[in-house]
Structure 1
Amino acid sequence: MTVEDSIDLSHAPVSDSPTESLLVFQITGNPGLIEYYRTFLTLCFDSLRAKYPDRRIKVAGTSLRGFGVQHHERHQSLSHDSNPEGPYDLEQQIEHIGQMLERAIESQTRPNATIKVVLIGHSVGSYILLEVLRRRKQSPSTQQLSNDAKVIGGICLFPTVTHIAKSPSGKKFSLFFAIPYFAVIAGLVVRLMFSWVPFTPLQRLVGLVTGFPSPAAETTTAFLKSPGGVRQALSLAGHEMRTITADAWDDELWGVSQAQDSSDNKTKLFFYFGTNDHWVADETRDELIAARAATGTPGDEKKPTMEIDTYGTPHGFCIKHNDLVAKKVEQYIDELMR
């Protein structure tokens, strides 16, 4: 296996006639390496290809900025800011994902064919997902997404969208982030520790210590040996603590506002929370569900569907629990396509 900075799984029907396209675009958590999700996205792709053989299917995703391990220069070339070397904050990651999503849509564009888009966000990727949607709705004339594409759904997995600092891990890490230059120092220490260790022995050590299967151990090793990956992850986490606080989105995005009734760009949201998720406090999760979730009563069908996992699936599901979550995503996409 080779650790890549993007994933692109595509299926085209035998017929060349205009056909509806479905694009599923994954937004990663932190650390933002898309390779962690290859098994999960492959399972999703295989399911979609079997269910919709007459549709053009694309399942794609890209690493967040600053996590590049194969094509670092390519990620830098996309930068239009004054800090091309990173680390990149949450705002810059949102802009980057908007750009990458547009590129994925452009690759699916065909004459006289419509494109349905489903976004999947994991952890902080769910926050990025909601921000991409918010900016599209607020500025339709300057939206990054093509007018030929309609985002029909957003699936937020183990989402950290409010008050991340109140979570068990958030409380612990907040103490470290109070230390001046913590991300810089920690990143330097990791580089000094692992830069001289050959890749294969380090991968074996990572697998032994963490219990990760081989693909996840390889991706983690690439992350540890990347020039600035650890610093980027810690810098972004610190920015998440300061930025992800109260619910930042309006009623229209949440499907509450009646203004959506006249829109052709309705987006149905799904939230799949963990039980005892160390990055999501139970009380903030329950408050969000009480305030925003659909209850099953007539008239609130456009509100988000919010569920709590009952299988003990961990926050980092993409390491060992891909099958279960892929089946849940399959259910959500089935509902969206209906």
Structure 2
Amino acid sequence: MSSPENTFPPGFPPNFPPTNLIWHPSTCPGSVFSPTITPFPEPQKQQDEYLLLYIPGNPGMIGYYRSFLSRLSVLLRERKGTKSVSILGISHAGFYFQNGDEVGNPAEGEPRKGVLEEKAKYTDWKSLPQPWTLQQQSKMKAELLNWIGEWYRRQPGGRKLKVLLAAHSMGAWVSMEMVKSLGSNDRLVDQEEWGIRSTVDVLGGTLMFPSIVDIAKSKNGRVVMPMLSLHRSVPHLCQLFASFLFHVVLSASLGRWLVGRFTGFSALSSTYVSLDGSLSTTNEALDATFSFLTAPGAVEQSLSMAREEMHMIKEDTWSDEIWGLGGELEWVLYFGQGDDWVCDESRDRLIKNRGRRYVAGMESASSASTSVERDVKGNLLRRNKIEEAGIDVELDGVAKGAEKEWKPLMIVCEEGMPHGFCIKHGEVMAEKVAIWIENIIEGSGKRRRGENI
């Protein structure tokens, strides 16, 4: 039996792979996503609604991000400009585990009434050979957004759904590839390549510890690439070993204990808020890791994607429109300092060519780093503290002064935040992301009204 947060109204397209999800719908009056509130019947009373799609890194288990997304949902409901944001976090295809409290409806059989009848435009993903490729992961999510967008358009008001993207690690690369197919408007849609006409309006989003260029040159990439390049069968052999170990040799309890001891996750715990407001405590890092190691095909899927990442994620190949250089899209990229999955030289080159940054009281863009006087285990962020730290988009001095051309905001963390922030520091990152999301929504509203940002 699915928990309330996983009752996802639009369901999934036909023949979509079984997918674990975390769903935090908006509770604003009139929200068509809310499971408890009836939408206003009059279209003119319907407010703008936003869907935040969260895309994980590799391994693509959405369970790693439960406390992060829970905290982010609470913060967005508290902020005036983000009350109408619903959050959907989904695992990558191939990372599915069967657990009644955490599994979303995989949309077997007929879709719910009011969703697309033109099924031919959606791919029969289940019939394709596995493991799935990076490009397939991207197109799946583009099709999912179109499916949701069409469902939303058929609700009272008939509007185009506004979408925000949030992603971690290689999920950032998947997000950028999605924008190639969806874009912020039909002008950006590459219909010849993707065969998709956008039903959503993508505003931009936040990319955390993004592994989007030269992964093979990173510290971990230089270690992983030779191992994965030994033979094509390496991912499959690792899957056979994991399946034998956890399904034949070890019992579930002993296997979970060993994973906790080996990873150090046994001592961790996190609290998240359910849709009904109740608090739950869980060891999400251990839960997700054990699920990853025991889910059918997940190890092979992860290693196959990792090998592909080494060969595909190299130089920046996206157009100015995808980067939002004309102001159509608004991105915030948050890089780690000394990130083992990001090459510092490639990161700095990307920031120099594509980004902008802000340091309070300065108007130059000579450096991408931002100094933040706050420990990752410290008190909750306050808005004035974030403004002082220079991570508030609307206060960006570069955008208002030194450089007239709009560019993505790129920040290099100096708080010591790790690449795997979701393990211990999900709530701290949620504080940052909530402000960035609010600023992106506010900026898009100003652009629609023709105001200066």
Q: TM-score, normalised by structure 1?
A: 0.88
Contact 2:332 2:410 in 1 (8 A): yes
Q: 1:10 touches 1:59 (CA, 8 Å); kept in 2?
A: yes
Correspondence 1:1-338 to 2 at 5 A: 5-15=20-30, 16=40, 17-52=45-80, 55-70=83-98, 74=106, 80=124, 84-106=128-150, 108-109=152-153, 110-112=155-157, 113=159, 115-137=161-183, 138-139=188-189, 143=196, 145-146=198-199, 149-180=200-231, 181-196=233-248, 197-212=250-265, 213=268, 214-256=283-325, 260=326, 266-294=328-356, 295=365, 296=398, 297-300=401-404, 302-338=406-442
More helix by share: 1
1:260-279, CA deviations, whole angstroms, 9 ceiling, x for partnerless residues? 46xxxx11011000011110
Q: CA deviation at 1:49?
A: 1.2
Q: Pick which of 209-218 and 9-18 moved more.
A: 9-18
d(CA) in 2 for partners of 1:83, 1:242: 26
Structure index of larger Rg:
2
Classify the secondary structure of the residue corresponding to 2:182: helix
Distance 1:54 1:228, change over 3 A: closer
Deviating 4+ runs (over 6 angstroms): 1-4, 75-78
> What is the alpha-carbon distance in structure 2 between the residues aligned to residue 287 and residue 111 of structure 1?
47
* Partner SS, residue 74 of structure 2: helix
CA separation in 2, counterparts of 1:304 and 1:125?
Answer: 17
TM-score computed with the length of structure 2 as normaliser:
0.67
CA shift for structure 1 position 287 = 0.9
- 1:284 positional shift: 0.8
Per the TM alignment, residue 79 of structure 1 is displaced from its structure 2 partner at its CA by 5.5
- Deviation per CA, 1:37-84, whole angstroms, max 9, x where unpaired? 111111111111122489533100211111111279949998636963
Contact 1:129 1:154 in 2 (8 A): no
Shift of 1:11: 2.1
How far apart in 1 are the matches of 2:144 and 2:338?
33
Asked if structure 2 preserves the Cα contact closer than 8 Å seen for 1:154 and 1:270, the reply is: yes
Alpha-carbon shift at residue 103 of structure 1 (Å)? 3.6
For 1:232-276, what per-residue CA distance to the aligned partner results, in whole angstroms no more than 9, with x for missing partners?
A: 0000100111100111111222233xxx46xxxx11011000011
% same residue: 31
* Unaligned 5+ runs, structure 2: 7-18, 31-39, 110-121, 269-282, 357-364, 366-397, 443-453
Q: Structure 1 residues 298, 6: CA separation in 2 closer, same or farther (over 3 Å shift)?
A: same
Between stretches 45-54 and 87-96, larger displacement belongs to 45-54
Letter in 2 for 1:252: E
Equivalent position amino acid for 2:293 in 1: L
Residues 156-202 of structure 1: CA deviation (Å, up to 9, x unaligned)? 11001111100011000111112111111111111111113333332
Amino acid in the other structure paired with 1:158: F
Relative to structure 1, the CA distance from residue 82 to residue 205 in structure 2 (aligned partners, 3 Å threshold; closer, same or farther) is closer
Which stretch shifts more, 162-171 or 244-253? 244-253
- SS of the aligned residue for 1:32 comes to coil
Q: State the alpha-carbon separation in 1 of the partners of residues 181 and 245 from structure 2.
A: 41
Is the 8 Å Cα contact of residues 24 and 88 (structure 2) preserved in structure 1? Answer: yes
The worse-fitting range, judged by mean Cα deviation, of 14-23 and 119-128 is: 14-23
Count of residues paired in the alignment: 329
Residue 304 and residue 114 in structure 1: after superposition, are their counterparts in 2 closer, same or farther (change >3 A)? same
- The 3 A distance-change label for structure 1 pair 325 and 36 is same
C-alpha distance in 2 between matches for 1:191 and 1:79 = 29
Unaligned runs of 5+ in 1: none
